[in-house]
């Protein structure tokens, strides 16, 4: 919900595009939050500070302070310039959220600027456009990110949560009715839910923010030039490393930055029928890597070789025909014809990788993912507070924790009103005198 | 003839409205079909229960009738959820019907400026969009500055028993057909709802020896902050019995003749089960349903078998009742029936319950789609007080959701409307932990005192309670005890109020431990709850503070929602339907996104400056 009292934070440069990203925070608490994180006294308008990230990492970044009312929004603003690495940006934002900031709503900086008389009244229509455009983009990004796994998982959690709430609310509001619900049932239901939510929370961490590296898998027949291609893109030679005792052919990974985005390449074992046990293991690993990939490059040196590959239709696919230095070939539809060896057309392919990824509207996606994780974390905190003793002594406090949890999850997907909750109760229990 | 305020209807909404308005020293006329039915309990003789008792306590804290009358007439009192925390504890009372209605009448009669007459209002006079008076059946017109309509189920009321159908608002009372038709012509958006009532059974025909007894609580709780158990008349027991397979078979055999199932009733019933035939139909697996037998009063020979509300044909009612344990020889004194009636979409009302389309006309009670005495009374109070305040040109009384169940009730009605008879539940209140039965006085009495509508006695009792809370708290702050008596592991002594935070610790036990005389129950409860809920209260207060900013952000009357560029048509329609007066109110309308609110804020800022310029030049 919109509230001016909140301190808001967001990344205001598209991450990945430049060498520098800018995180902006506006509101009453902006200065105190940044002070707490950096231990800087903020005496200068511009200062270089050490920003501690997770796992003992420290990012050196530039802080620019604009004090109210002399700022874009008219409130205290801190701008944090970091290296243009999405991982760093995400960690910076997370730190701010942990200390009480909220992810900005679509167009909220501009809205605040307007409401605080920082923009002229004539600009009201333009402001509305900014709000609308951003809200559409954000909605779309939210829908994208909610597609597939997350939505299913969230609704699974919500279903279980609401089943529990039905019992608790029934025990409270209809304790004088003829319903057979017992405290013991609630206690076991809640401990069951607690476990479920804990594992869901862990899953979500892994589901991961997109600022984790972009995973690229290169797949193709043996000797189509996969390793050569990866070496060519990352610009150095990586060697095939075996596991300690050299039992398996592992998937070999290496990474590089393209347009500031970190791409991780998986070289896979050539896919073909084999009786070699070790190689079979390698192929299985390849298939797994394929499943987790953000982008898949299908590489072949003969056009009809594409038909032999296990291609699953997906917008993240890129088709590449290699070895044009040997014979002249036409690029496959929507794909590229290159030479990994002579690096011909390689630049085009690299651009395509970055472009393909940015199409996902990274900026919105980034903040939406952080927001989701933040909400899930806060929702879990409410559940963690519930003990069997509390169920027995103060069921209304249990109900309160469950409701808060539901409200936070509802900000991600499918909120429920108190009236709908009553509907669920009336469906399950015969109530009414 | 001319008065300040006319109240149409003498039910629970009408009485609270008339009484509250008269406390403002307004000349009030209460018009009802029959003054002898003032304050009558048309349905079961119980007041209070979950969510409902919270409303009663709030009405009482504002100096209303219901709490005091429930104490004067209560023959059975029970605290529900006694084993749970104070926020969800609720008092329920059974009333002696006659004593209750007498208590209401005597308080109504005690107000010199309040007159009640038996008559029928057939039309409401409207001139230039303003209500100016009412027309009585004999053609006489009485003019008034404010009119409060509390017609209950009487508008176009129809009663159904089996294939029989008659007009009426309840048994033995006629319905208001002419008025209903006149109101329809005002185009306020009406629809039909239904409710029902069980057959009444003669006490003397029941074999109570076979039944489970439910005695009242001891010590007895009170409904009113100024009530005491000395006010209570002689107490009676309630009893519990159950339906069985035979009962269900009889009901099933007559379903085709039930007006609910044969399609003769169009009105929408609630999602919970209003009638026994509904229960059996919707929960076919359930082999037995509980019946709560409520005495109708000390001198009455009737009981109210709560749980078998029905509109089945009489022969079926007869068979099904006799199949029930204890009712084998039961004599039915009045058969159960269903009532179908008109109600008006409450989204046409503003926060004061004044209609948006007709100035000076207020709607309160069941006519707004609610069910229950408590919900009706609460609305009556809101309409009565606001009508009087408006006459004095004072700021309206608008309760927020964070301050009272009355606030939740009114806001739900005017923002969401209702599709079924609306009943209060504690789960409707998002700030449930703050809105307790025991602190309704702290939330509301100071305001009522400032309005000058409560008695000195009430104010004294309230102040005494508050100073006692302060004094006790201060004393307790000085005392340290050994926490191990309450499950604490810490060996050194701790402050009493710190120990109190432990789930195991009860303040009463601590008082016994430190050998301090116990203060009043209300004082004890308040100190204990404030400590035990501390973290939760703080969080809810924070939420409320945030919302408050937007409660104060008014949407100017001049704003035309359809003119706001960038809003979708759907959002525009929703805003136009509800016509929210504050940003917070707009936020609560389902389907209004944060982006829509942002656009609204931008638009308002722009419009306001244009408006100011116009005034300036």
Residue position matching structure tokens 């009670």: B365
As a whole number of angstroms, the distance between CA B250 and CA B243 comes to: 11
A426: its two tokens: 């009336």
Apex CA A123: angle with CA A120 and CA A126, to 5°? Answer: 155
Q: Which pLDDT value is given to residue B140?
A: 95
pLDDT interval class at A363 (50, 70, 90): very low
Query: Which of the two residues, B387 and B269, has the higher pLDDT score?
Result: B387
* Residue A5 near residue A13 (C-beta atoms within 8 A): no
Q: Which pLDDT value is given to residue A362?
A: 47
As a whole number of angstroms, the distance between CA A385 and CA B394 comes to: 46
Q: What count of CB pairs under 8 Å joins A to B?
A: 145
As a whole number of angstroms, the distance between CA B583 and CA B490 comes to: 49
* Residue A16 near residue A260 (C-beta atoms within 8 A): yes
Express each pLDDT in B48-59 by its tens digit.
999 999 999 999
Q: Nearest by CB to A393, which of B432, B503, B565?
A: B503
pLDDT interval class at B545 (50, 70, 90): confident
* Residue A26 near residue A38 (C-beta atoms within 8 A): no
- Report the predicted TM-score, pTM, of the whole model to 2 decimal places: 0.83
Q: Nearest by CB to A430, which of B283, B425, B432?
A: B283
Name chain B contacts of A430, Cβ cutoff 8 Å.
Answer: 273, 279, 282-283, 286, 289
Express each pLDDT in B434-479 by its tens digit.
999 999 999 999 999 999 999 999 999 999 999 999 999 999 999 9
Q: Give B545→chain A minimum CA distance, Å.
A: 10
Express each pLDDT in B9-53 by its tens digit.
999 999 999 999 999 999 999 999 999 999 999 889 999 999 999
Name chain A contacts of B271, Cβ cutoff 8 Å.
Answer: 422-423, 426-427
pLDDT interval class at A206 (50, 70, 90): low
Q: Which residues of A264-291 are buried (b: 16+ CB within 10 A; e: fewer)?
A: bbbbbbbbeeeeeeeeeebbebbeebbe
Look at A426 and B271 and tell me if their CB atoms are within 8 Å: yes
Q: Give A433→chain B minimum CA distance, Å.
A: 4
Q: Where are the alpha helices (DSSP H) in A39-180?
A: 86-98, 108-115, 124-146, 149-173
As a whole number of angstroms, the distance between CA A205 and CA B152 comes to: 56
Cis, peptide link before residue A115, omega less than 30° from 0:
no
Q: Which pLDDT value is given to residue B59?
A: 98
A124 to chain B: closest CA residue: B602
As a whole number of angstroms, the distance between CA B289 and CA A431 comes to: 10
Go through chain A and tell me how many residues it has: 433
Q: What does the pLDDT average to over B105-126?
A: 95
Look at A178 and B289 and tell me if their CB atoms are within 8 Å: yes
Look at A176 and B49 and tell me if their CB atoms are within 8 Å: yes
B240 to chain A: closest CA residue: A178
Express each pLDDT in B467-492 by its tens digit.
999 999 999 999 998 888 887 777 78
Strand-pairing partners, residue B144, are B3
Q: Give B84→chain A minimum CA distance, Å.
A: 5
Q: Nearest by CB to A430, which of B289, B587, B602?
A: B289
Q: What does the pLDDT average to over B309-314?
A: 94
Q: If you compute the radius of gyration of chain B from its CA atoms, what whole number of angstroms results?
A: 26
Contacting residues for B540 by C-beta, under 8 A, at least 6 apart: B402, B431, B433, B434
Q: Nearest by CB to B594, which of A1, A4, A173?
A: A1
Q: Give the strand pairing for B141-149 and B361-363.
A: parallel
Q: Is A244 a residue whose pLDDT tops 50? A: no
Q: What does the pLDDT average to over A1-6?
A: 56
A177-181, B143-147, B170-174, B540-544: which is most confident: B143-147
Per-residue H/E/C for B392-423: CCCCCCCCCCCCCHHHHHHHHHHHHCCCCCEC
Dihedral over Cα of B43, B47, B48, B53: its sign = positive
Q: Which pLDDT value is given to residue A144?
A: 61
* Residue B572 near residue B564 (C-beta atoms within 8 A): yes
Dihedral over Cα of B29, B32, B36, B41: its sign = negative
Dihedrals phi, psi of B59, to nearest 5 degrees: -60, -45
CA neighbor of B158 nearest in space, from B150, B147, B149, B166: B166
As a whole number of angstroms, the distance between CA B114 and CA B31 comes to: 11
**What beta strand segments (E) does B128-233 contain?**
130-136, 141-149, 158-161, 164-167, 190-197, 200-202, 212-214
Q: Give A208→chain B minimum CA distance, Å.
A: 26
pLDDT interval class at B253 (50, 70, 90): very high
B451: its two tokens: 């309005």
As a whole number of angstroms, the distance between CA A62 and CA A82 comes to: 7
Q: Let me know if A370 is exposed, middle or buried by CB neighbors in 10 A (0-12, 13-18, 19+).
A: buried
Q: Is A242 a residue whose pLDDT tops 50? A: no
What letter does residue B483 receive in the DSSP assignment?
A: G
Q: Let me know if B62 is exposed, middle or buried by CB neighbors in 10 A (0-12, 13-18, 19+).
A: buried
B269 to chain A: closest CA residue: A432
Q: What ipTM is given for this predicted complex? A: 0.92
Residue position matching structure tokens 């109900």: A399
Q: What does the pLDDT average to over B566-578?
A: 90
Name chain B contacts of A410, Cβ cutoff 8 Å.
Answer: none
Q: Which pLDDT value is given to residue A247?
A: 32
pLDDT interval class at B233 (50, 70, 90): very high
Q: If you compute the radius of gyration of chain A from its CA atoms, what whole number of angstroms results?
A: 26
Q: Give A123→chain B minimum CA distance, Å.
A: 9
> Can you tell me whether residue A31 is helix, strand or coil?
helix
Residue A125 forms contact with B (CB below 8 Å) = yes
Q: What does the pLDDT average to over A242-266?
A: 55
> Can you tell me whether residue B132 is helix, strand or coil?
strand
Torsion of CA A400, B413, B273, B42, to 10 degrees: 120
């Amino acid at each position: 919900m919109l509230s001016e009292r909140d301190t808001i934070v967001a990344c205001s440069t598209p991450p990945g595009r430049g060498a520098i990203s800018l995180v902006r925070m506006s509101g009453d608490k902006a200065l105190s939050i940044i002070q707490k994180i950096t231990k800087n006294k903020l005496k200068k308008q511009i200062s270089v500070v050490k920003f501690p990230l997770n796992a003992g990492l420290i990012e050196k970044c530039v802080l620019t302070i604009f004090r109210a009312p002399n700022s874009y929004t008219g409130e205290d603003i801190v701008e944090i310039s970091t290296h243009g690495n999405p991982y760093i940006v995400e960690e910076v934002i997370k730190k701010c959220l942990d200390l009480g900031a909220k992810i900005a709503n679509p167009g909220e900086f501009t809205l605040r600027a307007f409401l605080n008389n920082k923009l002229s009244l004539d600009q009201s229509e333009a402001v509305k456009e900014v709000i609308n455009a951003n809200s559409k983009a954000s909605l779309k990004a939210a829908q994208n990110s909610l597609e597939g796994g997350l939505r299913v998982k969230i609704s699974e959690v919500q279903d279980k949560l609401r089943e529990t709430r039905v019992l608790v609310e029934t025990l409270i509001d209809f304790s004088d009715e003829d319903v057979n619900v017992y405290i013991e049932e609630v206690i076991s239901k809640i401990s069951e839910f607690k476990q479920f939510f804990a594992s869901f929370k862990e899953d979500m961490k892994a589901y991961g923010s997109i600022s984790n590296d972009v995973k690229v898998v290169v797949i193709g027949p043996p000797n189509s030039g996969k390793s050569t291609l990866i070496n060519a893109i990352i610009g150095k030679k990586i060697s095939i490393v075996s596991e300690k005792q050299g039992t398996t052919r592992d998937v070999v990974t290496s990474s590089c930055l393209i347009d500031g985005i970190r791409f991780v390449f998986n070289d896979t074992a050539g896919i073909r029928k084999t009786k070699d046990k070790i190689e079979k293991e390698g192929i299985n690993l390849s298939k797994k890597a394929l499943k987790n990939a953000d982008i898949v490059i299908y590489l072949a040196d003969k056009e009809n070789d594409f038909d032999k590959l296990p291609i699953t239709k997906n917008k993240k696919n890129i088709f590449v025909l290699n070895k044009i230095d040997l014979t002249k070939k036409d690029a496959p539809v929507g794909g590229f014809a290159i030479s990994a060896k002579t690096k011909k057309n390689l630049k085009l392919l690299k651009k395509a990788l970055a472009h393909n990824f940015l199409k996902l509207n990274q900026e919105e996606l980034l903040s939406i993912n952080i927001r989701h994780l933040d909400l899930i974390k806060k929702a879990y905190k409410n559940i963690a507070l519930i003990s069997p003793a509390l169920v027995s002594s103060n069921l209304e406090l249990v109900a309160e924790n469950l409701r808060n949890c539901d409200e936070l999850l509802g900000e991600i997907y499918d909120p429920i009103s108190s009236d709908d909750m009553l509907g669920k109760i009336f469906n399950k229990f015969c109530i009414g005198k | 003839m001319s008065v300040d305020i006319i109240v149409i209807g003498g039910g629970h909404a009408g009485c609270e409205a008339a009484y509250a308005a008269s406390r403002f020293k307004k000349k009030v006329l209460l018009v009802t079909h029959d003054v002898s039915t003032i304050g009558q309990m048309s349905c079961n003789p119980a007041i209070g229960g979950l969510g409902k008792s919270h409303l009663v306590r709030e009405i009482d804290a504002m100096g209303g009738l219901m709490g005091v009358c429930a104490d004067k007439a209560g023959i059975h009192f029970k605290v529900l959820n006694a084993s749970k925390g104070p926020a969800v504890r609720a008092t329920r009372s059974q009333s002696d019907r006659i004593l209750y209605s007498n208590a209401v009448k005597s308080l109504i009669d005690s107000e010199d400026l309040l007159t009640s007459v038996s008559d029928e209002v057939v039309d409401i006079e409207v001139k230039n969009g303003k209500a100016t008076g009412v027309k009585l059946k004999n053609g006489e017109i009485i003019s008034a500055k404010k009119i409060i309509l509390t017609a209950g189920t009487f508008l176009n009321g129809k009663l159904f028993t089996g294939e029989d159908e008659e007009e009426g608002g309840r048994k033995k009372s006629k319905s208001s057909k002419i008025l209903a038709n006149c109101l329809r012509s005002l185009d306020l958006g009406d629809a039909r709802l239904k409710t029902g009532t069980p057959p009444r059974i003669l006490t003397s025909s029941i074999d109570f020896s076979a039944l489970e007894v439910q005695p009242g609580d001891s010590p007895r709780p009170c409904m009113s902050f100024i009530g005491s158990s000395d006010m209570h008349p002689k107490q009676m027991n309630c009893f519990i019995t159950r339906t069985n397979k035979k009962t269900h078979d009889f009901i099933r055999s007559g379903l085709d003749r039930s007006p609910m199932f044969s399609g003769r009733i169009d009105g929408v019933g609630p999602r919970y089960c209003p009638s026994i035939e509904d229960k059996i139909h919707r929960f076919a697996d359930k082999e037995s349903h509980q019946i709560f037998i409520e005495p109708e009063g000390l001198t009455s020979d009737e009981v109210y078998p709560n749980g078998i509300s029905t509109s089945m044909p009489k022969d079926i009612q007869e068979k099904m009742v006799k199949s029930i344990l204890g009712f084998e020889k039961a004599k039915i004194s009045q058969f159960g029936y269903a009532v179908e009636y008109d109600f008006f979409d409450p989204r046409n009302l503003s926060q004061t319950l004044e209609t948006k389309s007709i100035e000076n006309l207020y709607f309160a009670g069941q006519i707004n789609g609610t069910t229950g005495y408590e919900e009706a009374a609460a609305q009556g109070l809101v309409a009565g007080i606001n009508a009087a305040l408006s006459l004095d040109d004072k700021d309206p009384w608008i309760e927020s959701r964070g301050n009272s169940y009355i606030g939740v009730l009114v806001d739900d009605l005017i923002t969401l409307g209702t599709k079924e008879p609306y009943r209060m539940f504690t789960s409707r209140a998002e700030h449930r932990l703050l809105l307790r039965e025991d602190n309704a006085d702290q939330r509301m009495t100071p305001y009522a005192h400032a309005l000058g509508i409560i008695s000195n006695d009430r104010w004294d009792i309230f102040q005494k309670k508050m100073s006692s809370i302060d004094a006790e708290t201060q004393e307790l702050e000085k005392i340290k005890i050994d926490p191990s008596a309450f499950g604490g592991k810490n060996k050194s002594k701790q402050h009493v109020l710190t120990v109190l935070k432990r789930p195991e610790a009860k303040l009463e036990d601590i008082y016994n431990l430190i050998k301090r005389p116990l203060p009043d129950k209300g004082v004890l409860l308040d100190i204990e709850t404030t400590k035990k809920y501390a973290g939760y209260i703080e969080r809810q207060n924070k939420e409320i503070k945030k919302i408050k900013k937007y409660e104060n952000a008014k949407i100017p009357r001049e704003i035309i929602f359809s003119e706001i560029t960038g809003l979708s048509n759907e959002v525009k329609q929703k805003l136009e339907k509800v016509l929210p007066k504050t940003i917070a109110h707009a936020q609560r309308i389902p389907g209004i996104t944060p982006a829509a609110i942002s656009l609204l804020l931008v638009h308002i800022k722009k419009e306001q400056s244009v408006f100011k310029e116009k005034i300036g030049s």
